[in-house]
């Protein structure tokens, strides 16, 4: 399920022209905030599966041991899950997602020289994030 050697470019209908740090809404952290914190503080550490599960898990507010967490992860992936092309980071916050040869992910701001470089270099498969609205 992890993307390998892939660049997930910002969605075509993204309204920001720079990598925007997700702002909070209400008392809990949003999926965008959780994913941003994971990927900005630990680039090329987490895979798509790690990011999807950990962002879901963090929002659940569960206090479980490692064995229970492993069971929750298995149950989580026993059902189809949306991929990172649906991440709010790539859809609305201006962040491309670089997936290396091991499937580990790093952020790349749409306004950075690296972003344009990944689009043009041809070293990674380039796919677009899902559009926010149907078109």
Residue boundaries of the structural domains of the chain: 6-128
**From CA 92, how far away is CA 65, in angstroms rounded?**
34
pTM beyond cutoff 0.75: yes
Tens of pLDDT, residues 26-79: 888 999 999 999 999 999 999 999 999 999 999 999 999 999 999 999 999 999
Strand intervals (E) in the chain: 6-9, 95-99, 105-109, 125-128
Tens of pLDDT, residues 9-20: 999 999 999 999
Instruction: Round the average pLDDT of the chain to a whole number and report it.
Output: 95
What integer pLDDT is reported at residue 78 of this predicted model?
96
What integer pLDDT is reported at residue 88 of this predicted model?
96
């Amino acid at each position: 399920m992890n993307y390998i050697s892939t660049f997930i470019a910002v969605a075509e209908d993204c309204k920001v022209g720079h990598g925007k740090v997700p702002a909070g809404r209400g008392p809990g952290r949003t999926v965008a905030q959780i994913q941003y914190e994971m990927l900005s503080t630990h680039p090329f550490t987490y895979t798509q599966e790690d990011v999807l599960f950990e962002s879901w898990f963090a929002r659940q507010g569960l206090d479980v041991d490692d064995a229970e967490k492993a069971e929750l992860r298995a149950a989580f992936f026993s059902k189809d899950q949306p991929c990172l092309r649906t991440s709010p980071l790539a859809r609305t916050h201006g962040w491309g997602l670089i997936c290396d040869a091991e499937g580990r992910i790093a952020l790349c701001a749409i306004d950075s020289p690296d972003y344009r470089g990944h689009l043009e270099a041809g070293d990674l498969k380039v796919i677009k994030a899902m559009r926010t609205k149907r078109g």
